[in-house]
């Protein structure tokens, strides 16, 4: 749905920005910078570097700055305005989330999507808005970054990490190239977390001309008239199938292993501040139980995305259709399924993402040392092991990594995993829109606490050195001499 800005749109946004500035002023935010400056052999040292300036990276860096931790920067490999999935590989038309979620607004009403939207298009347009168009969500994130003046550098990729004393050296390439030193590192690297695409074994060795992952760049025009298969029954499978159909694909088959489509969005259904605040404090066995159950029941695709596929006469849904093997054959693919052989020109694997830290070169220095749930936090009495959960990182209370072998990689305790891979330890507070502000709050409390403790001697020295009197000495008179005089009488 397109919204025509009201004549008052620009003044509306300007008024909102003025109101936000006033609210920040009333709350004395940002707090004044309080972390001591640090140098290393003449080189400047950042307090925190954030990698990724998608929604989580922006919320994290905004919360750091508001908390007075201002010697910070976020780098994103994507050009400005193209961070995250929204206008790149997200192929849905609207967000699935309700429009009213307060998302990364960090408790500031004027920073919500709703305030931003209403300031430009008015209350009536807000009422008639159903779901948020994905491009509009991206525009909101662009504004969020601009209005808070966040220190983000685009087109800069982190390519490697190394310890330098108690600091982390971060190699960057792109619009800026070199090595940056930082005391803390936040990995807000998105849904692929620390791994990458999850690709089923049966696609190993199959020429990329015949298949793509749903998060790849896909030339949908090239699928015109072609027989397309899509694996999976989640939101991305529907969005990719619909995009192929709308681009004129000859046919699209959804190959779904399950006997039934998942129909109930379980975890969203019980969403509450209790879940947001309480999940990470639960005993591990309970955490496992919640996420094992939701992984087994699965999240259904949104109704609108499913209808966007099924409204095409050339779309078919095959349930109970597991894939046994895939072969290149006669200029296409021959797919052996549990329903028999099927032939296609192209396949899209909407098979999600993995936690395989070894999959990304920039994490090579830390990958072998990261402690996961399978290193003792998961125990068989919690239920059967499950890929995607057993390999989840075993994180500390501020999303910091832990070492598999104590002493093997101490910098891990200063690297914070603020992305989807944190879900099993922390609940859903570092990936999806609903609770990202709570996640950023937890992250920044932890970082502030540990920076303060690390600098305790400086803070104590500052205490001793502080000598600005509040009293001038002329506010009272010492009456003791009077007492002495009285005693002498």
Ligand X SMILES: Cc1cc2nc3c(=O)[nH]c(=O)nc-3n(C[C@H](O)[C@H](O)[C@H](O)COP(=O)(O)OP(=O)(O)OC[C@H]3O[C@@H](n4cnc5c(N)ncnc54)[C@H](O)[C@@H]3O)c2cc1C
**Binding site residues, ligand X, CB under 6 A:** 51-52, 54-57, 75-78, 83-85, 90, 95-97, 157-158, 188-191, 236, 362, 419, 431-434
Residue 433: which of 151, 102, 128, 202 has the closest Cα?
A: 102
Residue 171 or 328: the one with the smaller Cβ distance to ligand X is: 171
Nearer to ligand X, 251 or 419 (CB): 419
What count of other Cβ atoms lies within 10 Å of the Cβ of residue 310? Answer: 16
Note whether 416 and 447 are within 8 A (CB). yes
DSSP string, 261-293: -----HHHHT-SHHHHHHGGGS-HHHHHHHHHH
Give the chain's end-to-end CA distance (angstroms, integer): 94
CB of 61 to ligand X, least distance (A): 11
Q: How far apart are CA 52 and CA 326, in angstroms?
A: 35
| Cβ proximity to ligand X, 134 vs 227, nearer residue | 134
Nearer to ligand X, 197 or 202 (CB): 197
Contact 323, 253 (CB under 8 A): no
If the CB atoms of residues 157 and 404 are measured against ligand X, the closer one turns out to be: 157
| Strand-pair partners of 417 | 187
If the CB atoms of residues 6 and 155 are measured against ligand X, the closer one turns out to be 155
**Least distance (Å) between residue 425 CB and ligand X:** 16
Query: Shortest Cβ distance from residue 473 to ligand X (Å)?
Result: 55
Q: How far is the CB of 431 from ligand X (least distance, A)?
A: 5
Q: What share of the chain is helix, strand, coil (3-state, %, to 5)?
A: 40, 20, 40
CB of residue 396 vs ligand X: minimum separation in angstroms?
A: 19
Q: Using CA of residue 332, residue 237, residue 247, residue 79, what is the dihedral sign?
A: negative
> Can you tell me the distance from the alpha carbon of 387 to that of 374, in angstroms, rounded to the nearest whole number?
10
Nearer to ligand X, 16 or 415 (CB): 415
Which CB, 176 or 284, lies closer to ligand X? 176
> Rounded to the nearest whole angstrom, what is the least distance from the CB of residue 187 to ligand X in the complex?
8
To ligand X, the closest distance from the beta carbon of 91 in angstroms equals: 7
To the nearest whole angstrom, how small is the minimum distance from the Cβ of residue 375 to ligand X? 24
Please state at what angle helix 9-26 crosses helix 113-128, rounded to 10 degrees: 140
Taking the C-alpha atoms of residue 213 and residue 211, their distance in angstroms, rounded to an integer, is 7
CB of 263 to ligand X, least distance (A): 18
Closer CB to ligand X, residue 146 or residue 343? 146
Between 90 and 231, name the residue whose CB sits nearer to ligand X.
90
Sheet holding 346-349, edge to edge: 211-213, 346-349, 227-231, 251-255, 315-318
- Taking the complex as a whole, the smallest distance from the CB of residue 353 to ligand X amounts, in Å, to 8
Q: How far is the CB of 107 from ligand X (least distance, A)?
A: 18
Residue closest to ligand X when measured from CB atoms: 54
As beta bridge partners, residue 253 has: 229, 316
> Nearest approach, Cβ of 150 to ligand X (angstroms)?
13
The C-alpha atoms of residue 47 and residue 450 are separated, in whole angstroms, by 11
If 0-12 CB within 10 Å is exposed, 13-18 middle and 19+ buried, where does residue 324 land? exposed
Cis? peptide before 30, omega within 30° of 0:
yes
Cβ distance to ligand X smaller for residue 83 or 253: 83
For 183, counting Cβ atoms within 10 Å of its Cβ (0-12 exposed, 13-18 middle, 19+ buried), the class is: buried
Taking the least distance from each CB to ligand X, the nearer of 372 and 430 is: 430
Query: Can you tell me which residue has the tokens 């005993």?
Result: 283
DSSP line for 372-427: BGGGTTS-GGG-S--TTTTTSB---TTSB--BSSTTS-GGGGGEEE-SGGGHHHH-
């Amino acid at each position: 749905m397109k919204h025509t800005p009201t004549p008052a749109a620009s003044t509306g946004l300007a008024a909102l920005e003025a109101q936000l500035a006033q609210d920040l002023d009333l709350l004395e935010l940002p707090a004044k910078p309080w972390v001591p400056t640090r140098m290393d052999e003449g080189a400047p040292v950042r307090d925190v570097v954030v990698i990724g300036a998608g929604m989580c990276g922006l919320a994290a860096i905004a919360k750091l700055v508001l908390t007075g931790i201002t010697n910070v920067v976020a780098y994103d490999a994507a050009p400005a305005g193209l961070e995250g999935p929204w206008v790149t590989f997200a192929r849905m038309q609207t967000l699935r989330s309700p429009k009213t979620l307060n998302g990364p607004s960090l408790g500031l009403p004027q920073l919500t999507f709703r305030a931003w939207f209403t300031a430009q298009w008015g209350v009536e347009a807000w009422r008639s808005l159903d779901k948020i168009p994905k491009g509009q969500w991206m525009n909101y994130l662009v504004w969020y970054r601009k209005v808070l003046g966040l220190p983000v550098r685009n087109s800069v990729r982190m390519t490697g990490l190394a310890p330098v004393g108690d600091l982390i050296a971060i190699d960057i390439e792109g619009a800026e190239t070199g090595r940056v030193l930082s005391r803390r590192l936040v990995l807000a690297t998105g849904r692929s977390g620390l791994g990458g695409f999850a690709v089923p074994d049966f696609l190993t060795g199959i020429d990329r001309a015949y298949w793509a992952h749903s998060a790849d760049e896909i030339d949908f025009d090239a699928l015109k008239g072609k027989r397309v298969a899509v694996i999976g029954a989640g939101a991305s499978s529907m969005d990719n199938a619909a995009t192929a159909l709308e681009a004129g694909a000859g046919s699209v088959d959804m190959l779904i292993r399950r006997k039934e489509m998942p129909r109930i969005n379980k975890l969203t259904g019980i969403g509450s501040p209790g879940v947001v605040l309480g999940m990470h404090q639960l005993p591990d066995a309970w955490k496992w139980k919640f996420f094992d159950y939701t992984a087994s029941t699965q999240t259904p695709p949104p109704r609108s995305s499913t209808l966007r596929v099924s409204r095409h006469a050339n779309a078919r849904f095959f349930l109970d259709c597991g894939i046994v093997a895939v072969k290149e054959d006669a200029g296409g693919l021959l797919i052996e399924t549990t329903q028999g052989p099927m032939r296609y020109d192209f396949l899209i694997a909407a098979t999600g993402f993995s936690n395989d830290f070894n999959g990304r070169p920039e994490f090579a220095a830390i990958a072998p040392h990261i402690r996961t749930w399978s290193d003792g936090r998961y125990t068989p009495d919690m239920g059967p092991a499950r890929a995607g959960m057993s390999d989840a990182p075993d994180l500390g209370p501020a999303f910091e990594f832990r070492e598999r072998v104590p002493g093997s990689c101490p910098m891990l305790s200063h690297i914070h995993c603020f992305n989807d891979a944190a879900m099993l330890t922390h609940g859903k507070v570092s990936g999806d829109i609903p609770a990202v502000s709570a996640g950023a709050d937890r992250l920044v409390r932890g970082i502030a606490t540990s920076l303060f403790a690390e600098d305790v001697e400086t803070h104590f020295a500052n205490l001793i050195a502080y000598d600005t009197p509040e009293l001038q000495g002329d506010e009272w008179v010492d009456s003791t001499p009077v007492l002495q005089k009285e005693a002498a009488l």
